[in-house]
Amino acid sequence: MLAAESDAEASAAGVEPGDLEQAVWLRLLERLQATGTAPERPAEWLRRAVRAEARRARRTSDRERPYRDEPAHDPGGSGPQGSPEHSLLDAEGRRTLRAAVTRTPGRCPRVLTAMLAPEDLTYREIAGELGISQGSLGPMRSRCLGCLRRMLAAEVPAPGRRGRVR
């Protein structure tokens, strides 16, 4: 009965049926530990518990945003990473990043361009290139990256509930 109820409620809650079953078992064990007695009408309790866990899962999924899994770029690799589509998306991502860097305020474009240089410069080399002290480079880099992060987050809408984009 638990498996059937979980299967029925899981898709609407956006969770796996097994996760829902496990959460209900946990609730039952917590109840048994707290009260020491099993529910009087187990079938009714089970239905209510599954629906309550499904509601909790929906509320949680509305607040949580998972990180996207993006593997590291391997230009000579085989498979999907070496595909033309991946190369195109990678180049588009670099263009978007470079365009956002140029729109950052103050010294940020120069700082971020130096940080993104393919030569992989050290802090000492970057500070010398920009004509600033090495000690002020770290805080300036943090401010510039924060500004860039906010700009890029505003350009990419967060996925909405059930895959819809806001």
pLDDT band (50, 70, 90) for residue 39: confident
Asked if residue 29 has pLDDT above 50, the reply is yes
| Mean pLDDT of the region 134-148 | 90
pLDDT band (50, 70, 90) for residue 4: confident
Distance between CA 30 and CA 24 in Å, rounded?
A: 10
Name the most confidently modeled range: 11-15, 29-33, 62-66: 29-33
Q: What is the DSSP string of 103-135?
A: HS-TTHHHHHHHHT-TT---HHHHHHHHTS-HH
The one-letter amino acid code at 76 reads G
> What local confidence, expressed as pLDDT, does residue 120 receive?
84
> What local confidence, expressed as pLDDT, does residue 44 receive?
92
Q: Write down the pTM of the prediction.
A: 0.44
Name the most confidently modeled range: 66-70, 116-120, 144-148: 144-148
3-state secondary structure of 81: helix
> What local confidence, expressed as pLDDT, does residue 78 receive?
46
> What local confidence, expressed as pLDDT, does residue 156 receive?
58
Distance between CA 19 and CA 89 in Å, rounded?
A: 34
- For the stretch 81-110, pLDDT in tens is 667 888 888 888 888 888 889 988 888 999
